[in-house]
Amino acid sequence: MNQHALPRAAGPTAKFRPPAIHQVRVGGFFGPRVDTVAAVTAHTLLDRCIEAGMLDQIDPDRPNPGLRIPFQSGNATVSTQMFWDSDFGKSIETAAYALFRKPDPALEARVDEVIDAYARLQGEDGYLNSWYQRIQPGKRWTNLRDCHELYDAGHLIEGAVAYYHATGKRKLMDIMAAYVDHIAARFGDGDEKRPGYCGHPEIELALVKLGRATGEQRFLDLARYFVDERGRSPHYYDEEARERGADPQDYHFKAYDYMQAHEPVREQDRVVGHAVRAAYLYSGMADVSTEFGDETLKPALEALWAHLTEKNLYVTGGFGPSAHNEGLTFDYDLPNETAYAETCAAVALVFWANRMLGLGPDRKYADAMERALYNGALVGLSLDGTRFFYDNPLESRGEHHRWTWHRCPCCPPNIARLVASVGTYMYGEAEDALAVHLYCEGEAELNVAGMKVRVTQATDYPADGKVALTLDPAESAHFTLHLRVPEWAGTLAATLNGEPLDAPSLTRNGYLAIERRWEPGDKVTLDFEMPVLRLRADPRIGANQGRVALQRGPLVYCLEETDNGAALNSLLLAPGSAFRCEAVAELGGAAALVTEGRRETAASGALYSAAEPEREDATIRAVPYYAWDNRANGEMLVWIREEASR
């Protein structure tokens, strides 16, 4: 595979940016998952997109498939078919990362076929959207609020950039650059242009990727425009509705907070509306803040972050409890059995947290990124890489299982592209500093202090908390190495070339910061104590009181019926009981947590009875949440009852 050295976009160089996909090779915990996506899921996604009819829609040489998926209710003309370009975009992106992992000429040929179809579809004016070119011709740019037109472009841009990195082939990136120029000619400041932006944020962060990949400032400028214009008055969606003869009030979701367009972004301080839209927008805001050194976005980003993580985040890193709006409701509304917590939302939180780290190492962002990655996101993909969760309850009565596909198939390629590119989330590069945000066996070639530095991690993480890092700068170099100290860690023993480090005095924002002249072969060891935590929820989350969630390292655990029998709410953890780790072969060797507790049984056969339940000793076995529903079907429970200590 080629190793492009791409120009960097303008902007302050002290900010941290993620490495490109080719810079990191992942082994350890994530290695087999990446391999599975490369070998299985990347093909599966293309198979299912094509089976669904997507290639028929985009290829102008094929018969027009027409409307295959019924319009959704509400007065707006909406069908999941209008997102099909985005599904291809994310599938191309996944395939691109897969090609980094393992050359696969057949996969590359399949992607090239799709790209060729897009090339034939693209209008002479640069316009490219299969829904509006083939299913609803004549309607383009009439409904940015509902119809995902710029969102589709965003995902194709992300796919194009990844495919360019993976193969050196510019065809799709050139197609998308021409389309972006068409978009930029229509939307922006100036009398000739309209002040529009997408109802589903996505293109903002995609344009930053395109700007970084091409070094073209105009793509970053358009990203900033879309961020800045959002929510301003007079409201674009009102005007747009009137122009197409609709009443702006006659809107299914009633208010523009559904897509975070209810007020200008710098005035926003509460995470509202559709969860994925929210985190995509905030990702774009953070990117723009990083690239333009725009400090005015920071107060909003920090307020939004606090509102999400202090009042609205599931312990799994999922968010957005309601199926109704696929998003937020009210503070502390975090029901378990009905949790929507869309896989895409946890994936998007990884994106957002990673971009908040662009503003500098800060454990609170990396901890949340890790929580969402290992739990609420990773659960979206079966261990064999073929099936997908869309919504992610924290308790199931036994009826919740992964889908082979979904009529709104946004989640499958989203979790697949995240897993396949997970190495890029592990590090941050700045001019004079490197950051290690996540620990995982593997190696990376990073850029700092004007040279390349090879960073090797030897670790069984997250099976245990021992990490040995070896740094090999091309030659001796002065820079700061930031090493995250997770909040879940107990004591930390750290050494530099065998000498103990005084971790507390070196810790800034939850990262060990080691500033020195680094020599090839320098070695840092970290040994994080990894206790089994019994997390308790704020009492305002009503359903979890008297219960604990088990967490060890980054992994949140759950009970499954296949290990514990039915009626999981009959089980009681004993206060302070010891846990032992037992590898589960069927779950790829993941560690189960096993402890001795009790099981309640009804003293009476009645549905309700004043008799106290009987209790007997019971062994309780928890498995990582990401791994559930990979064995026999049955109940699942994250928040486990605990007998109160007196």
Please report, for residues 204, 348, 592, 623, the alpha-carbon distance to residue 440 in angstroms, rounded to integers and kept in the order given: 30, 21, 20, 20
SS (H, E, C) 424-438: HHCEEECCCEEEECC
* Residue 249 lies near a second copy (rule: CB under 8 A): no
Window contacting a second copy (CB under 8 A); options: 77-85, 190-198, 353-361, 528-536: 528-536
> Cβ neighbours of residue 83 under 8 Å, at least 6 residues apart?
148, 151, 152, 408, 410
Residue number, 63 or 539, with CB nearest to a second copy = 539
Active site residue 410: yes
Q: Three-class SS of residue 216?
A: coil
Kindly tell me the burial class for residue 613, based on how many C-beta atoms sit within 10 Å of its own C-beta (0-12, 13-18, 19 or more). Answer: middle
**What is the Cα–Cα distance from 524 to 519, expressed in whole angstroms?**
12
Q: 282 — alpha (psi -120 to 50), left (phi > 0) or beta? A: alpha
Question: Please, what is the minimum distance in Å from the beta carbon of residue 74 to a second copy?
Answer: 11
Window contacting a second copy (CB under 8 A); options: 16-24, 432-440, 504-512, 606-614: 606-614
Instruction: State how far Cα 456 lies from the chain centre.
Output: 25
* Residue 529 lies near a second copy (rule: CB under 8 A): no
Site for a second copy in 392-421 (CB under 8 A): 395, 397, 399
Residue number, 116 or 600, with CB nearest to a second copy = 600
Q: Can you tell me which of 144, 156, 301, 568 binds a second copy, judged by CB under 8 A?
A: 568
- How many residues touch a second copy under the rule CB under 8 A: the total is 52
Orientation angle between helical segments 203-214 and 217-229, nearest 10 degrees = 160
Active site residue 600: no
Beta bridge partners of 600: 615
Q: Can you tell me which of 75, 404, 545, 619 binds a second copy, judged by CB under 8 A?
A: 545
The count of other CB atoms within 10 Å of the CB of residue 226 is 24
Q: Can you tell me which of 533, 581, 584, 587 binds a second copy, judged by CB under 8 A?
A: 533
Q: Three-class SS of residue 472?
A: strand
* Residue 601 lies near a second copy (rule: CB under 8 A): yes
Site for a second copy in 494-523 (CB under 8 A): none
Both structure tokens of 370: 């890790």
Nearest to 201 by CA among 35, 367, 324, 352: 352
Question: Please, what is the minimum distance in Å from the beta carbon of residue 336 to a second copy?
Answer: 9
* Residue 542 lies near a second copy (rule: CB under 8 A): yes
Find the catalytic residue in 147, 198, 344, 410: 410
Q: Can you tell me which of 519, 612, 619, 632 binds a second copy, judged by CB under 8 A?
A: 612
Residue number, 66 or 398, with CB nearest to a second copy = 398
Q: Three-class SS of residue 635?
A: coil
Residue number, 64 or 72, with CB nearest to a second copy = 72
Q: Can you tell me which of 281, 315, 346, 448 binds a second copy, judged by CB under 8 A?
A: 315
Both structure tokens of 501: 């480090």
* Residue 578 lies near a second copy (rule: CB under 8 A): no
Both structure tokens of 594: 């096993």
Window contacting a second copy (CB under 8 A); options: 117-125, 446-454, 577-585, 633-641: 633-641
Contact 153, 178 (CB under 8 A): no
Contact 257, 275 (CB under 8 A): no
Question: Please, what is the minimum distance in Å from the beta carbon of residue 471 to a second copy?
Answer: 33
Find the catalytic residue in 158, 326, 395, 560: 326
Q: Give the residues lining the site for a second copy (CB under 8 A).
A: 73, 309-311, 313, 315, 330, 333, 335, 337-338, 395, 397, 399, 533-543, 545-546, 549, 566-570, 572, 600-602, 606-613, 635, 637, 641, 643-646
Which residues have a catalytic role annotated? Answer: 326, 410
